[in-house]
Structure 1
Amino acid sequence: MNIKIDDLTGPEVAQLVGEHLHGMSQHSPPESIHALNLDELRKPEITFWSVWEKDELLGCGALKELGRQHGEIKSMRTSSLHLRKGVARRLLEHIIGEAERRGYQRLSLETGSMEAFEPAQKLYASFGFHYCKPFSDYIEDINSVFMTKEL
């Protein structure tokens, strides 16, 4: 697997981000969707990675800088063609490593509270993330869970 910083201009990445947004809309009410579109993912405080094997896009994920010591995981998505192949695990390792390299002391995320999001919650928990109160600009929401990890 090759993980690289991506400029979000390729059609494969646009399609995967679209798949991610569509998946969120299937499982969460509009007011509880915190997924970012292509333009939002291009903001300077966000680093976006894509995961490839040869010419095939396997997944993507991003790291948003919330402050000098705090980052947020955004837009973690494995292509529906490559589920359960370790793509998310490998990308999460990469993002945690980058957060540590940047000197962050904490890494946090928001994900859905519904059954469809249980695999993601289990993955994050296996890396030492634990449930927490809302952070940054988030508010309590029965459709969201918040997780954090001290680095």
Structure 2
Amino acid sequence: MIIIGRDDPAREDVYQLLSEHLADMFATSPAESVHALDHSALSGPSISFWTAREDGELLGCGALKLLDSPQHAGKLGEIKSMRTAAGARGRGVATLMLNHILEEARGRNFAHIYLETGTEEYFAPARRLYARNGFTPCPPFAGYVPDPNSVFMELRL
């Protein structure tokens, strides 16, 4: 059974997964278009971080970042660091993690959830996952700027 729970981004196996994630981001996107966070940034007070595990084995991770936005009514969040371990791909881990993050956001009365992902073919599965779950394209948010290598998406909760 896959269990999703709060975790420490600096935990050894999580640190390794996040390092692989960052390496892949820099290998597939220009450096100025990489918006992935490292383990120390994911430990910040505005971020909730979870991992998916089965029998203790790390299958994936994801985070929810609280956004500051005085121009919007209600709380806003951003999905960060969604990553499935290579050996766990195709098992629905990303869908489970996304559903967990969205349930958390709804439980905390968030009004909108945003995300940024890449335009390269490498990111096509992520874009399909988000679209299947109701995310739609939106303009850049929270300090992002238009970028031909980025897709911005939102979900109204």
Q: Quickly name the TM-score band, shorter chain normalised.
A: over 0.9
Alignment of 1:1-150 (within 5 A): 1-67=2-68, 69-150=75-156
How many residue pairs get matched?
Answer: 151
Determine the C-alpha separation between the residues in 1 that align with 2:121 and 2:49.
26
Runs of 4+ in 1 over 6 A off after TM superposition: none
The runs of 5 or more residues in structure 1 that have no matched partner are none
Q: Which SS does the other structure have where 1:38 is aligned? A: coil
Determine the C-alpha separation between the residues in 2 that align with 1:8 and 1:116.
24
Q: Which SS does the other structure have where 1:146 is aligned? A: strand
The runs of 5 or more residues in structure 2 that have no matched partner are 69-73
Task: Using the TM superposition, give the Cα deviation of residue 9 of structure 1 relative to its aligned residue in structure 2, in angstroms.
Answer: 3.0
Task: Using the TM superposition, give the Cα deviation of residue 139 of structure 1 relative to its aligned residue in structure 2, in angstroms.
Answer: 0.2
Task: Using the TM superposition, give the Cα deviation of residue 55 of structure 1 relative to its aligned residue in structure 2, in angstroms.
Answer: 1.8
Determine the C-alpha separation between the residues in 2 that align with 1:8 and 1:70.
22
Determine the C-alpha separation between the residues in 1 that align with 2:22 and 2:10.
17
Identical pairs, percent: 49
Task: Using the TM superposition, give the Cα deviation of residue 26 of structure 1 relative to its aligned residue in structure 2, in angstroms.
Answer: 1.1
Moved more, 1-10 or 138-147: 1-10
Determine the C-alpha separation between the residues in 1 that align with 2:9 and 2:79.
17
Alignment TM-score, normalising by the size of structure 1: 0.98
Determine the C-alpha separation between the residues in 2 that align with 1:121 and 1:44.
28
- 1:34 partner letter: H
RMSD, aligned CA: 0.8
Q: Which SS does the other structure have where 1:136 is aligned? A: coil
